[in-house]
């Protein structure tokens, strides 16, 4: 087992026992004005939330919950048949104001620390690339973090997570086929044949995660082609 990176401890009382093994790394932004404010909130008993780690804008790392414990960071969430993402994941909060600051860029120093920390976590738990997820993946419509500025492609280039390479020209999909692809990918998407608001939210989360030009939930050609490729393991 690899040893952990240099970090400081600020223990949070908000955790419990895991009900299953870890196979997900879940990334968030804090949506708060400062890393210190976020740590204080995540360690406050009255908040009812926590995370395993927080990476501040200068790259410093604070740990709040031991990796063998279930932190409370995902909330109501789902991925590939699992509705207890907290039990299955290690969570990293990344200091960024999000909508409070009109989605500022993530500093290079911070992202390098996220990459290093992620590599350590992935090695310890043998987490597959396609299970390095955004909060927006597991809670579509409710969460958008780590947001549109998060450099997923840079992480993937460093060996963290998944980023599609070449997108082939797939065929036009029916609504049921789109929903079936979304469900196969991991979303809790009913296959109803109706382009309802729930399906639109799943599409928005998919578009956001993979940096598509559209993030409005409209299933254009690029969205459909990428969705087909990822589900088929081609991208």
Tell me the C-alpha distance between 114 and 144, whole Å.
18
Name the domain count of the chain. Answer: 2
CA 108 to chain CA mean position, Å: 19
**Residue 228: φ, ψ to 5°:** -60, -45
216, 145: one domain: no
Q: Specify if 147 maps to a domain.
A: yes
pLDDT per position as a tens digit, 170-215: 788 999 999 999 999 999 999 999 999 999 999 999 999 999 999 9
Residues annotated as part of the active site: 93
87, 141: one domain: yes
E strands, the chain, are: 8-9, 15-17, 24-29, 53-55, 61-63, 69-71, 89-94, 132-134
187, 78: one domain: no
59, 134: one domain: yes
Average pLDDT, the chain: 94
Cα angle, residue 64 at apex, residues 61 and 65 outer, rounded to 5°? 125
pLDDT per position as a tens digit, 70-128: 999 999 999 999 999 999 999 999 999 999 999 999 999 999 999 999 999 999 999 99
Which residue segment(s) compose the domain that 222 sits in? Answer: 175-232
71, 139: one domain: yes
Burial zone of 18 (CB within 10 Å; 0-12 exposed, 13-18 middle, 19+ buried): middle
149, 186: one domain: no
Q: Specify if 136 maps to a domain.
A: yes
Is the pLDDT reported for residue 5 higher than 90?
no
89, 25: one domain: yes
132, 209: one domain: no
Look up the CATH number of the domain holding residue 179: 1.10.101.10
């Amino acid at each position: 087992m690899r040893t952990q990176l240099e970090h400081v401890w600020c223990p949070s009382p908000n955790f419990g026992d895991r009900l299953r093994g870890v196979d997900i790394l879940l990334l968030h932004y804090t949506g708060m004005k400062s890393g210190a404010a976020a740590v204080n909130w995540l360690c406050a008993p009255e908040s009812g939330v926590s995370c395993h780690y927080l990476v501040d804008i200068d790259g410093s790392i604070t740990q709040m919950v031991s990796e063998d414990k279930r932190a409370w960071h995902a909330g109501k969430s789902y991925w590939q048949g699992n509705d207890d993402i907290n039990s299955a994941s290690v969570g990293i909060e990344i200091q960024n104001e999000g909508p409070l600051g009109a989605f500022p860029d993530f500093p290079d120093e911070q992202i390098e620390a996220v990459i290093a920390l992620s590599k350590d976590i992935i090695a310890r738990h043998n987490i597959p690339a396609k299970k390095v997820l955004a909060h927006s993946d597991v809670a579509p419509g409710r969460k958008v973090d780590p947001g549109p500025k998060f450099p997923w492609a840079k992480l993937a280039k460093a060996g963290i997570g998944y980023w599609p390479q070449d997108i082939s020209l797939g065929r036009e999909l029916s609504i049921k086929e789109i929903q079936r692809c979304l469900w196969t990918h991991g979303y809790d998407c009913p296959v109803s044949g109706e382009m309802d608001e729930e399906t639109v939210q799943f599409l928005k989360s998919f578009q956001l995660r993979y940096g598509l030009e559209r993030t409005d939930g409209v299933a254009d050609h690029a969205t459909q082609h990428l969705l087909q490729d990822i589900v088929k393991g081609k991208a």
